[in-house]
Amino acid sequence: MVKNIIPTLIWYYYICPREVWLMAHEINPEQDNPLVEIGRTFHEH
């Protein structure tokens, strides 16, 4: 888990709180995974 809150995380929080949660838990999804693409599609609509 992120021990220091850096300005970048605060900025990301305003854009996408889910991304900050993933970063805080050191979860980096595989960008070419089809499930990640489906999740992006749901998030955008």
Structural domain boundaries, residue 31: 7-44
Q: Determine, yes or no, domain membership for 37.
A: yes
Q: Tell me how many domains the chain contains.
A: 1
Q: What is the pLDDT of residue 17?
A: 87
| Per-10-residue mean pLDDT, the chain, length 45 | 73 86 79 81 81
Cα–Cα–Cα angle for 45, 38, 42, nearest 5°? 20
Q: Determine, yes or no, domain membership for 1.
A: no
Q: What is the pLDDT of residue 40?
A: 80
Inter-residue long-range contacts of 3-9, CB under 8 Å, 24+ positions, other chains counted: none
Mapped to the 3 state alphabet, what secondary structure does the chain carry? CCCCCCHHHHHHHHHCHHHHHHHHCCCCCCCCCHHHHHHHHHHHC
Q: What is the pLDDT of residue 8?
A: 80
